[in-house]
Chains A and B, each alone.
Chain A
Amino acid sequence: MKGLYVSPSPHRAADNSTAKVMMMVIIALIPAAMAGCVFFGARAALIMSVCIVSCVVFEALCRIIMKKEQTVSDLSAIVTGLLLGMNLPATVPVYVAVIGSFVAIVIVKQLFGGIGQNFANPAITARIVLMLSFTSYMSNNWAVPYWYSDLVDAKTGATPLAAEWLTYTENGVNYKMAPFTLGEMFFGETGGCIGETCAAALIAGGLFLIIIRVISPATPIAFIGSFALLTFLYTGSGTETLYGVLAGGLLIGAFFMATDYATTPITTKGKIIFGIGCGVITFVIRSFGSYPEGVSFSILIMNLLTPYIDKLTRTVPFGAKKAERSGK
């Protein structure tokens, strides 16, 4: 009998693929994206669609120009597009979204070799580039929920992080009042980027990814935990801590961006260091920096440190003897 297939062992493979992993991430992002559409209207859906379509087109074009095998079917460009869209305010002009997609896919991802080879998170980097280049669209005057309807008079307002806390003194005691209630924060009825406001949906999506073991719980726990701990120690207020956790891009960052495979450490120990680093930097920027938000910067900085974290957090092989120093 001839014509047999011959290959090295193993002869079985788990029923899994990069596309399936990406599909799970997309599914996990859908609730938060839908919440964004509810709060910020059709314009939110438009921006996210523009990001997804332009990311996919840029990816396909890059692969064609570079004469490399086509990778659109692995769905990673859709994940990047969706994440980028969710990280933009609904009011940005369409061309800004396209420029962001170009930065994410062409500059950050494909120029470094495509999926798995980029050293920084494409969506985060694109968000930072847009924030610095199109500051007027990307800061302070954000669309408020339901800005597209008659329900609200003012179309824009401050985000939870930028808004001033109300302070007043009663009977000689100083009180601070948050500009938004924790309930509003939890369900996302605040100003902000399309996909970052609805904490409930982001937590649900993150838990889904943890349960199906697409992401490790180590990074989000370390990220959110270290941020919360530092904020609590600094402010001494549980409400302010919770407010900080629910505000801005912390949850979308911790669950969906700081868990990106290519740009974060591989081992659990490494993931914990990465998460703590993100938490500390976010706290420092938010509390002492001139930007109201620090999640993007913290993840980008830790992305750059990832190769070193990886090197320091190698596993110890089972039964390995200590490496002999090669003396000269």
Chain B
Amino acid sequence: MNKLNGIKLRHDKGTKDCETTEFPLPKSVVVPMSQHMGAPCECIVNKGDTVTVGQKIGDTDAFMSAPIHSPVSGTVTDITDFLLANGATCKAVVIESDGEQRVCPDVAPPEINDTQSLIAAVRESGLTGLGGAGFPTHIKLNYDPVKTPVDTLIINAAECEPYITSDYREMLESPTDVIEGILMVQKYLGIPLCKFCIEDNKPEAIKLMKEKTEEIRSIDIVTLKSSYPQGAEKVIVYSATGRIVEEGELPVHQGVIVMNVSTVASIYRYARTGMPLVSRRITIAGDAVTKNAGNYFVPIGTRVSELLEYCGATEAKKVLYGGPMMGICLYDTEQPIIKNNNAVLAFKEGKMPETTACIRCGKCVRTCPFNLMPVAIESAYKAKDVEELKRLKVTLCMNCGCCSYACPAHRPLAEINQLAKMLIPRK
């Protein structure tokens, strides 16, 4: 088995020993109706309504979606049009908290006794992939076991992005939720084997998970070499099983499903408590953070400005959702925390090094995990040569950013790859 290319990054995981605490309840939250991959939800509350924690405030009949619940108890003060950090617009519900956190009477542990009831429960929990992409979890679990039988569940605890430690803290703080969640998914979906993948820069987590799964033969703890982007879906499938998820395929086509460690723990938490996904663990870090860097349970919808104020990072010049390699820049700190955010990073320096001419050194080719040729893609993109872009398989690019990172001329290669993809007509 060949090793996939990648890069070595400074880990900067200074918050790895920061135990997660509750973030102070915000006075008001903004809950966008699109926090996941797929169709946005319809808002099902009106201005002036009183809501409680865990009450469903957004839902849709669309297949690819996940419902949204109120993270606080209080009053809906506004329903606005909202521009998300990723450039999409959707409705957002603004709720003023009454500070009491009254729990919705509907919140009760679900009955789970077979595949369909598990999938229904996961849908009701509003759970989406917590690692970053925000893929609705119930859809991932709802595969056709005849057409695409799955024999391996891969738990992604690589956490290969620098700074972020929220998945690591999940493992250390709630190992039971993690393991029970895995066992639940295995039991109701009939998946015989679980490969639980952790990068070797987290020895404590590996040790704890090995201890906890000593008696459980179906869970195999896999230690992965720490290298970026080890946690990318296709990379981790290959590292864990040697299987190659081909162009246009999903992992299920290779008999695996990949779940983030925090996502799988959330399934068990929902099964235990019935409380949908209304808050999540967030790492706050970065060199502009002057105090209180660490991990927090933050209610969904909390404005990033409150996080920055709490951590003394109001002087930041660049604020990111997620890690420095794939994170999205915030244009405005009034943006809220949404389901797929695992970190908020604040940096003092916002400018990237200046771009110079390509010297054809080939570093971009040698670092690309998928063996793409960003240098050739750039030329083809400039020439608007769609056929050439197709031959170069630019659509396989996952935007991991290794090429841009490694380029001595600091060319925005990853960005060009994304722009080049847009030139290719979708079938």
Contact = CB atoms under 8 A, between A and B. Distances in A.
A317 B246 CA distance: 10
B396 A318 contact: yes
A267 B357 contact: no
Given A261-B359, A261-B361, A319-B234, A10 B371 contact: no
A262 B360 contact: yes
A230 interface: no
A43 to B, nearest CB: 33
A61 to B, nearest CB: 18
Contacts of A11: 318, 320, 324-325, 327, 329, 347, 352
A4 B396 contact: no
Interface string B1-41: 00010010100000000000000000000000000000000
A320 B247 contact: yes
Most buried by A among B351, B360, B414: B360
B324 A12 contact: yes
Interface in A301-323: 310, 314-321, 323
A9 B318 contact: no
Interface stretch (A17-25, A49-57, A203-211): A17-25
B376 A5 contact: no
A18 B405 CA distance: 14
Nearest to A114: B357
Interface string A43-77: 00000000000000000000000000001001010
Contacts of B350: 4-5, 7
Contacts of B373: 266, 314-315
A115 B408 CA distance: 13
A9 B322 CA distance: 10
Contact of A14 (B245, B319, B375, B405): B405
A328 interface: no
A10 B362 contact: no
B393 A13 contact: no
Contacts of B387: 326
B287 to A, nearest CB: 12
B325 A9 contact: yes
B399 interface: yes
A318 B246 CA distance: 8
A6 interface: yes
A1 interface: yes
A144 B350 CA distance: 57
B404 A13 contact: yes
Contact of A4 (B247, B316, B324, B404): B316
Nearest to B326: A9
B317 interface: yes
B382 to A, nearest CB: 13
Interface string B392-421: 110010010100111111101011001000
Nearest to B412: A8
Given A317-B396, A319-B234, A10 B329 contact: no
B305 interface: yes
B143 to A, nearest CB: 19
Given A14-B405, A74-B356, A317-B393, 14 more contacts: A4-B317, A4-B329, A5-B351, A7-B318, A8-B414, A11-B347, A13-B353, A114-B357, A261-B359, A261-B362, A314-B373, A315-B371, A318-B234, A320-B246
Interface of A: 1-14, 16-18, 20-21, 71, 74, 76, 114-117, 261-262, 266-267, 310, 314-321, 323, 326
7 contacts: A10-B401, A13-B353, A14-B405, A17-B409, A71-B356, A317-B372, A318-B396
